[in-house]
């Protein structure tokens, strides 16, 4: 693909709490190309939101701390910028859309004021220009009667409309990167589909890169070029989307896929949940963090935490026993082996 | 007819509902509370009286008339006269000016300090929060009356004297008038009241901001790159205004009461300048012995102070009901 937009290297985030230090993100590295869509998947507490908030430098410090890492965005390490320089980047070059549209807008300011905020701050627009642009943005996210609705307050909008407003705010300064933190989780399914459609269309039109955080593999399947699967602060598997669904090589990814209800399955088939709970982030194990819940575990997993290992074309997995996973996963997923494009046959 | 309203298309009803702005709805809720409305009326009267005291007072509040001392209420003196024949009504009217002046200055100072320090403590947290919160705790535990007496006894005479000589030396007649009016005596009281009084408001603002700071829209604003001060002034404070208004309204009542108490105890405005507190003080020494005759001499200024304090409390309660979304349907 084209140029590297974002290069995250060995990023760590910790929080000092009364119970000890919570290791929320534990050495995350990945590269995002310009215009690429990256899915960040994992359960609650897997560090997907925190890692992105760290990229945005929106972690409250204290108690938060970034003991190591580099976040190289367009050649600059964001972690080394001053607070003021970072503020210039937020909303301007990197924008973020949050999960809950019901609480993400300021109830006492009009929708128009909140959209124009970023335009006036970063683009130096005057009130009139910003208002015109705000109306365009609202039209772009399919809000009818955009001009009139600029003077409405958030409580006069429905949840789906508010999320579209949030996206409009995110897009207002034409950022190179949009980080969407579970933007559809709080919405019902039809609205989810609308929002993802809007984002897909806008991505085509505007050509920005997107990092889409979710715990819903179904939502991300049609959206992302590549998926990072996160577990207790580590990236445990990363692969192009099709490859990941066809050829999962980490027990956790297999577990996630097994927990998706399927329409083409027999009537009485039960879902295969992942047993157990993720490890305590205060006392992370020396070995693999997935050990307790893993059906492929061996002695080695207890002693040494597996690094990401190349297991295919653009495909990395952090599992010592990925060959076992390859052989047994289809039985677990109750499916016939899917054809895998571009994977070296072992 | 009831049926016609039901027959209205839903969209039209929606439109009519929208046309009514939020402040009007708040006002209607407030107006439903009759004591609060009465309180508001009293407060408006108080402020007007203070502003137009010269026009309203039938006599000069300093003018004595030894032919008409201790008169009961009559057509010439509506509220009677005091022991040296001064018109009680005129003294009460100028007393209103004293109390409004003190309330205005103290409220402005405490409001500014409380809002500023509370917002800093709540938003930035860390050592600034620790410092400000400990200061608030300290002020809450502090014997405030004692502090004011201390200031009045030690700093005040020197300050008033130096102000007077400064005015004379620099030929500033307005300052000379100000010192002579007795309000310079008040400066010290007002500053001490303000120093002590911001703590309650600051604690309230801090709490509000602490809870609002965790709201997603603040994170959203930060993600858009809105600067800290803009977040505080446009995102946090406007969302915490309702309880702040209520606290200020209740606070004004207690400032009025403090003014009365301090004047009564002789720390505030000095006679012959009139303050409701020192009118009660003068009269209570003399007239409690004559009970039940002449009791209006104490009762009238007392009723005036009490009604003002009640008025602010009623308005505070009314605001609380009108602004607190959890209290109305």
For residue B176, the domain's CATH number is 1.10.3720.10
Share of residues in chain A with pLDDT > 90 (%): 5
- Residue B29: inside a domain: no
| CB pair distance less than 8 Å for B226 and A107 | no
Rounded mean pLDDT, A54-74: 86
> Which residues of chain A are within 8 Å of residue B222 when distances are taken between CB atoms?
58, 90
Q: Work out the pLDDT band at B325, boundaries 50, 70, 90.
A: low
Q: How many domains are contained in chain A? A: 2
**The last residue of a domain, from among A176, A201, A228:** A228
pLDDT of A27 above 50? yes
Residue A207: the pLDDT is 84
Is residue A70 within 8 A of residue A79, CB to CB? The reply is yes
Predicted pLDDT of residue A163: 84
Q: What is the mean pLDDT of residues A319-335?
A: 80
In a domain, B250, yes or no: yes
- When divided into structural domains, chain B yields a total of 1
> Are residues A106 and B239, on separate chains, in Cβ contact within 8 Å?
yes
Is a pLDDT exceeding 60 seen at residue A241?
yes
Assess whether pLDDT exceeds 90 at residue B243: no
Residues A299 and A169 in one domain: no
- The mean pLDDT of A58-62, rounded to a whole number, is 81
A303 and A220 in one domain?
no
Contact at CB, A117 and B226, closer than 8 angstroms: yes
Residue numbers in A near B235 (CB within 8 A): 106, 109
Size of interface A-B (CB pairs under 8 A): 63
Q: Which of B20, B208, B220 to mutate to test the interface with A (most CBs of A within 10 A)?
A: B220
Asked whether the beta carbons of residue B227 and residue A87 sit closer than 8 angstroms, the reply is: yes
Average pLDDT over residues A180-196: 80
| pLDDT given for residue B224 in this prediction | 85
The answer to the question of residue B53 being in a domain is no
Assess contact for A291 and A285: CB atoms under 8 A: yes
If DSSP states are collapsed to H, E and C, what string results for chain A? CCCEEEEEEEEEEEEEECCEEEEEEEEEEEEEECCCEEEEECCCCCCHHHHHHHHCCCCCCCCEECCCCEEEECCEEHHHCCHHHHHHHECCCEEEECCCCCCCCCCCCCHHHHHHHHHHHHCCCCHHHHHHHHHHHHHHCCCCCHHHHCCCCHHHCCHHHHHHHHHHHHHCCCCCEEEEECCCCCCCHHHHHHHHHHHHHHHHHHCCEEEEEECCHHHHHCCCCEEEEEECCEEEEEEEHHHHHHCCCCHHHHHHHHCCCCCCCCCCCCCCCCCCCCCCCCCCCCCCCCHHHCCCCCHHHHHCCCCCEEEECCEEECCCCHHHHHHHHHHHCCCCCCCCCCCCCC
State residue A338's pLDDT score: 59
In a domain, A11, yes or no: no
pLDDT higher than 50, residue A197: yes
- ipTM topping 0.90: no
Token pair of B71, please?
């008169």
Least confident of B51-55, B179-183, B243-247: B179-183
Q: Which residue of B219, B225, B238 is in closest CB contact with A88?
A: B225
Contact A106 B226 (CB under 8 A): no
Predicted pLDDT at B203: 92
Q: Lowest-confidence range among A125-134, B73-82, B223-232?
A: B73-82
Q: Tell me the chain A residues in contact with residue B238 when contact means C-beta distances shorter than 8 Å.
A: 108-109
Q: Which of A324, A317, A326, A329 is nearest to A236 (CA)?
A: A317
For strands A64-65 and A94-97, give the pairing.
Answer: unpaired
Q: Which of A228, A248, A276 is the last residue of a domain?
A: A228
Clarify whether residues A183 and A273 are in a common domain.
no
Interface test with B, best of A85, A106, A144 (most B CBs within 10 A): A106
Which residue among A104, A122, A166 sits closest to B225, beta carbon to beta carbon?
A122
| A17 domain-assigned | no
Q: Are residues A218 and A238 in the same domain?
A: no
Nearest to B224 among A108, A117, A156 (CB): A117
- Report the alpha-carbon distance of residue B209 to residue B233 in Å, rounded: 11
Regarding whether A312 and A262 lie in a shared domain, the answer is yes
A88 touches chain B (CB under 8 A): yes
| Among the ranges given (A180-184, B133-137, B182-186), the one the predictor scored with the smallest mean pLDDT | B182-186
Identify the domain boundary among A211, A228, A245.
Answer: A228
Percent of chain B with pLDDT over 90: 18
Per-residue pLDDT band for B117 (boundaries 50, 70, 90) equals very high
Is a pLDDT exceeding 50 seen at residue B165? yes
Res B148 pLDDT > 90: no
pLDDT given at position B4: 43
Minimum distance, in Å, between the CA of residue A291 and any CA atom of chain B:
35
Are A106 and B216 inside 8 Å of each other by CB?
Answer: no
Partners of residue A108 in chain B, C-beta under 8 Å: 238-239
User: Domain for residue A68, yes or no?
Assistant: no
pLDDT for the residue B166: 86
Range of the domain at B314: 76-323
Does any domain span residue A346? no
Asked whether the predicted pLDDT for residue A81 surpasses 50, the reply is yes
Domain assignment present for residue B7? The answer is no
Whole-number Å distance between alpha carbons of B254 and B111: 14
Q: What is the pLDDT of residue B170?
A: 85
Any CB–CB contact under 8 A between A107 and chain B?
yes
Asked, for residue A284, whether it belongs to a domain, the answer is yes
Verdict on whether the full-model pTM lies above 0.80: no
The predicted model gives A287-293 an average pLDDT of 86
Is A175 an interface residue toward B (CB < 8 Å)?
Answer: no
In a domain, A97, yes or no: yes
Q: What is the mean pLDDT of residues B161-185?
A: 81
Question: Which chain A residues are closer than 8 Å to B217 by Cβ?
Answer: 103-107
Q: Are residues A200 and A255 in the same domain?
A: no
Cβ–Cβ gap A122/B220 under 8 Å: no
CA distance to partner chain B, nearest, from residue A32 (Å) = 20
Closest-CA distance, A238 to chain B, in angstroms, reads 27
Among the residue ranges A88-97, A257-266, A321-330, the one predicted with the least confidence is A257-266
Name the phi and psi angles at A10, rounded to 5: 45, 50
From B225, B227, B238, residue closest to A108, measured CB to CB: B238
pLDDT above 70 for A206: yes
Same domain, A185 and A44: yes
What is the average pLDDT across A45-68?
Answer: 86
User: Do A92 and B223 lie within an 8 Å CB cutoff?
Assistant: no
Mean pLDDT estimate for chain B:
82
Separation of first and last alpha carbons in chain B: 25
**pLDDT score recorded for residue B135:** 93
Angle of helix B34-51 relative to helix B22-31, nearest 10 degrees, comes to 100
Q: What is the pLDDT of residues A119-153, one digit of tens each?
A: 888 888 888 888 888 888 888 888 888 888 888 88
Residue B327: pLDDT band with limits 50, 70, 90 = low
Judge whether B173 lies within some domain: yes
Calculate what percentage of chain B has a pLDDT beyond 70.
91
CB-CB neighbors (< 8 A) of A92 in chain B: 225
Decide if pLDDT at B18 tops 70: no
Q: How far is B222 from chain A (nearest CA, A)?
A: 7
**What domain range includes position A114?**
40-58+85-228
Confidence at B109, pLDDT banded by 50, 70, 90:
very high
3 state DSSP class of B14: helix
Across the interface, of A87, A103, A109, the residue whose CB is closest to B216 is A103
The reported pLDDT for the residue numbered A268 is 67
- Reply yes or no on whether the pLDDT at B51 is more than 80: yes
Mean pLDDT of all residues in A10-19: 88
**How far away is chain B from the Cα of A184, in angstroms, using its nearest Cα?**
15
A14 lies in some domain: no
Residue A116, pLDDT > 50, answer yes
Which residues is A26 bridged to in the sheet?
Answer: A12
Span A90-113, average pLDDT: 85
Residues 24-53 of A with CB under 8 A from B: none
């Amino acid at each position: 693909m084209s140029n590297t937009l974002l290069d995250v290297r060995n990023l760590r985030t910790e929080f000092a709490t009364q119970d000890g230090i919570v290791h929320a993100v534990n050495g995350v590295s990945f590269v995002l190309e310009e215009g690429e869509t990256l899915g960040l998947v994992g359960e609650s507490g897997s560090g997907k939101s925190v890692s992105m908030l760290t990229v945005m430098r929106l972690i409250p410090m204290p108690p938060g701390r970034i003991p190591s890492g580099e976040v190289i965005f367009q050649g600059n390490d964001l972690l080394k910028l001053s607070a003021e320089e970072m503020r210039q980047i937020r909303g301007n070059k990197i924008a973020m859309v949050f999960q809950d549209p019901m609480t993400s807008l300021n109830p006492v300011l009009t929708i128009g004021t909140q959209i124009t905020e970023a335009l006036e701050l970063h683009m130096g627009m005057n009130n009139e220009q910003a208002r015109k642009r705000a109306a365009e943005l609202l039209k772009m996210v399919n809000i009818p009667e955009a001009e009139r609705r600029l003077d409405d307050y958030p409580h006069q909008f429905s949840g789906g409309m508010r999320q579209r407003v949030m996206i409009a705010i995110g897009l207002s300064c034409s950022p190179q990167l949009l980080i969407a933190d579970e933007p559809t989780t709080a919405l019902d399914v039809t609205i989810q589909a609308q929002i993802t459609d809007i984002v897909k269309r806008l991505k085509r039109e505007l050509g920005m890169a997107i990092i889409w955080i979710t715990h819903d593999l179904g939502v991300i399947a049609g959206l992302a070029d590549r998926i990072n699967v996160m577990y207790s602060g580590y990236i445990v598997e990363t692969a192009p989307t099709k490859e990941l669904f066809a050829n999962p090589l980490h027990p956790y990814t297999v577990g996630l896929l097994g927990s998706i209800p399927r329409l083409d399955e027999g009537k009485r088939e039960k879902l295969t949940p992942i047993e157990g709970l993720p490890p305590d982030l205060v006392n992370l194990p020396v070995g693999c963090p997935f050990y307790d819940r893993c059906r492929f575990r061996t002695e080695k997993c207890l002693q040494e935490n597996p690094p990401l290992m190349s297991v295919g074309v653009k495909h990395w997995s952090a599992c010592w026993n990925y060959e076992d996973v390859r052989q047994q996963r289809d039985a677990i997923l109750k499916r016939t082996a899917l054809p895998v494009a571009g994977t070296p046959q072992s | 007819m009831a049926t016609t309203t039901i027959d209205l298309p839903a969209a039209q009803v929606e439109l009519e509902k929208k046309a009514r702005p939020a402040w009007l709805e708040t006002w209607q809720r407030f107006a439903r509370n009759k004591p609060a409305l009465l309180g508001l009326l009293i407060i408006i009267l108080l402020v007007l009286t203070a502003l137009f005291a010269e026009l309203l007072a039938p006599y000069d509040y300093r003018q004595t008339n030894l032919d008409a001392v201790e008169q009961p209420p009559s057509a010439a003196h509506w509220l009677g006269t005091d022991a040296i024949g001064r018109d009680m009504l005129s003294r009460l009217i100028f007393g209103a000016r004293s109390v409004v002046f003190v309330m205005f200055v103290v409220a402005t100072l405490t409001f500014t300090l409380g809002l500023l320090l509370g917002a800093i403590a709540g938003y930035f947290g860390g050592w600034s929060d620790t410092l400000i919160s400990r200061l608030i705790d300290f002020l809450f535990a502090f014997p405030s009356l004692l502090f004011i007496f201390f200031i009045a006894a030690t700093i005040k005479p020197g300050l008033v004297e130096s102000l007077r000589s400064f005015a004379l030396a620099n030929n500033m007649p307005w300052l000379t008038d100000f010192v002579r009016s007795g309000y310079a005596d008040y400066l010290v009281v007002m500053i001490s009241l303000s120093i002590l009084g911001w703590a309650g408001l600051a604690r309230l603002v801090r709490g509000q901001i602490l809870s609002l700071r965790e709201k997603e829209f603040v994170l959203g604003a930060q993600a858009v790159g809105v600067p800290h001060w803009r977040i505080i002034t446009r995102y946090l404070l406007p969302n915490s205004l309702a309880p702040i208004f209520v606290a200020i309204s209740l606070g004004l009542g207690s400032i009025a009461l403090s003014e009365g108490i301090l004047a009564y105890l002789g720390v505030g405005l000095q006679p012959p300048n009139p303050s409701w507190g020192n009118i009660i003080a003068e009269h209570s020494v003399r007239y409690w012995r004559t009970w039940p005759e002449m009791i209006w001499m104490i009762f009238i200024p007392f009723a005036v102070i009490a009604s003002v304090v009640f008025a602010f409390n009623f308005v505070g309660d009314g605001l609380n009901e009108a602004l607190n979304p959890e209290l109305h349907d």
